[in-house]
Structure 1
Amino acid sequence: MAIFMLYPVVSVFQMSLYKWGGYSPDKQFVGFDNFKILAGDMNFIRSFQNTILLIVVVTVFTLAFALVFAAILTRVKFKGIGLFRVIFYIPNILSIVVISAMFSAIYDPTQGLLNSFLRLFHPANWAGIQWLGNEKIVIFSLAITLIWQAIGYYMVMYMSSMASIPEDLYESSALDGAGVLKQFFSITLPLTWSTIRTTLTFFVISTINLSFLLVTAMTGGGPNGSTEVFLSYMYKQANTNSAYGYGMAIGVVVFGFSFILSAVLQAITKRDIYEF
């Protein structure tokens, strides 16, 4: 813990106070100047906005789809249910580089699967849409990729929690006239809330980390910085622009943001524990 966790964290905080290229033995102490520059850095602010957008969109849609699919695969009995469980989980075991290559091919404007499918219905309107080249929609293209990759993992977690709910509760509620939706919101959701609270923290951390890998593999931060996120901008500053200290200042902000957001989510989602 001390060597691999505490020391690196303290080192990041320490290096953020220096003007340093990363390789030169000369380091100039500048105090909080790096953070002052960050406050006026429009590229950093844009990467901050993109990260917030991805966290919100990916969290909301992944949570919703994972809960719905988990409820269906837990409560509904049909042939091939085991196969569907495996299929949904497959994206989570794929490398993010493989996923990036798959969706880059899907989003290809000329030969991609998405445009080819859309042209079946509106040949003129959907011809050559630049899903990864249009500044207005590219961030949402990345969000869809992240959602697709994450649903299976969280679905399995929710299925494990839902499987522990006694069947008697559903039978009693059915006798009282409760339908499927009523049972979901009155029984399933409250009794899986502790798992949902835990996964919300996972959503934040995984989105920040995976968005960096996805951006690096698919767009490189382009076009014109429209997909730049926290970690990709930090990496470029620290390793490309010879501004290692400045990059570490961004790392400190990412650390503080992740910690504060996780704490806020845990506070606002705190509920009384339901027992059965």
Structure 2
Amino acid sequence: MNTRRKLFIAACLLPGLLLFSLFKVYPTIQIFHKSLYLWTGLGDKPKFVGLGNFKDMFRDDTFLLALRNTGFLMLIIPVLTLLIALINASILTKSKLKERSFYRTVFFFPSILSFVVIAILWSFIYHPTMGFLNSGLEAVGLGDWALPWLGDQRTVLWALAVTLIWQAAGYYMVMYMAGIDAISPELYEAAELDGATKLQQFRRITVPMLWEIIRVTIIFSINGVLSISFIIVSIMTAGGPDRHSEVVMTYLYGQAFTNSNFGYAMAIGVFIFIVSMLLALLSNKLTERGTE
């Protein structure tokens, strides 16, 4: 490659690299740096406390509760979301339903809605007196099951989980459908000739052939819970009742912009970043066997 060509490529890449460094790399470095300080973000001089913010984090009962809630959502949502998406993708791709295009549109539609719209919609569904869910239960004679779903400590996380699963399942379904369409039909034909049932074909052909896509969607889903749950929780419950729906991202936001405790908030941000990276590496390692 001649020098002129190298200079041209460098000139094309330089603006993008500068913008990426300015808006991504530099702020990330600053977050790691400021997490070592006690700082209100209001113009006062930051006070160096070393790892003090991180020590306080694990003595903070509210943070530990938010961490537990986030862990629950990160455990439940990816498993159920990807399972539902995979089953729906397999059915809609392999079945002979005339309404397949309609169902594809219906299942994918929540993925194109704004998170704010989704949060408001499900807030109305869960409303204790006017909500569709409680009204439906009463209509079929199950009024005793009607609950204040977002106001009960026992049900609030499950209610939020259903909302997040409903929003994301269609998105991953489309990814799986694209992968299934790429699988050779001859594999399924040969399996049918050998007497394999639809369930056996799903287990022995569909899942193994989609394994690389599944691995990617696991990482996407885990990290998506962190970002999306912030919006959903902020609008639907604001962390209530009694902090039982608080997640680490809403707690971080509250520490920074409500309590003006930016140093502590950045320490939480660093913790989230490290945990996200570790979870991505762990999920990639645990699912690596399927590619051998």
TM range (shorter): over 0.9
Work out which of the residue numbers 236, 255, 260 in structure 1 matches 2:278: 260
Between 246-255 and 77-86, report the one with greater CA deviation. 77-86
Distance 2:168 2:58 in 1: 32
Work out which of the residue numbers 156, 169, 188 in structure 1 matches 2:174: 156
Q: Which secondary structure does the structure 2 equivalent of 1:133 belong to?
A: coil
8 Å CA contact 2:116–2:232 kept in 1: the answer is yes
TM-score, scaled to structure 1: 0.97
Residue matched to 2:102: 83
Q: Deviations over 1:15-50 (max 9, x none)?
A: 101111112232111111000101111110111111
CA gap 1:198/1:124 in 2 versus in 1, 3 angstroms: closer
Distance 1:82 1:4 in 2: 41
Residue matched to 1:15: 34
Q: Which secondary structure does the structure 1 equivalent of 2:77 belong to?
A: helix
Q: Which secondary structure does the structure 2 equivalent of 1:255 belong to?
A: helix
Code of the aligned partner of 1:68? I
How far off is 1:102 after superposition?
A: 0.6
1:113 correspondence with 2:132: yes
Distance 2:269 2:226 in 1: 12
Unmatched 5+ stretches in structure 2: 1-19
Q: Deviations over 1:176-223 (max 9, x none)?
A: 110000000000000000000001110111110000010111110111
How far off is 1:123 after superposition?
A: 4.9
How far off is 1:249 after superposition?
A: 0.4
1:31 correspondence with 2:50: yes
How far off is 1:5 after superposition?
A: 1.9
How far off is 1:124 after superposition?
A: 4.4
Code of the aligned partner of 1:34? N
How far off is 1:120 after superposition?
A: 2.2
Residue matched to 1:55: 74
Distance 1:122 1:208 in 2: 38
Work out which of the residue numbers 230, 233, 241 in structure 1 matches 2:248: 230
Code of the aligned partner of 2:265? G
The total of aligned residue pairs comes to: 273
Which protein shows a greater Rg? Answer: 2
Structure with greater helix share of residues: 2
1:238-257 to 2 correspondence within 5 Å?
238-257=256-275
Code of the aligned partner of 2:141? H
TM-score, scaled to structure 2: 0.91
Distance 2:280 2:25 in 1: 19
Residue matched to 1:171: 189
Residue matched to 2:221: 203
Code of the aligned partner of 2:258? T
Q: Percent identity?
A: 44
Distance 2:40 2:265 in 1: 10
Between 144-153 and 55-64, report the one with greater CA deviation. 55-64
CA gap 1:31/1:142 in 2 versus in 1, 3 angstroms: same
Residue matched to 2:200: 182
Residue matched to 1:139: 157
Distance 1:271 1:166 in 2: 23
Unmatched 5+ stretches in structure 1: none
Distance 2:92 2:142 in 1: 37
Q: Deviations over 1:84-108 (max 9, x none)?
A: 1111111000001100111000001
Work out which of the residue numbers 114, 131, 139 in structure 2 matches 1:95: 114
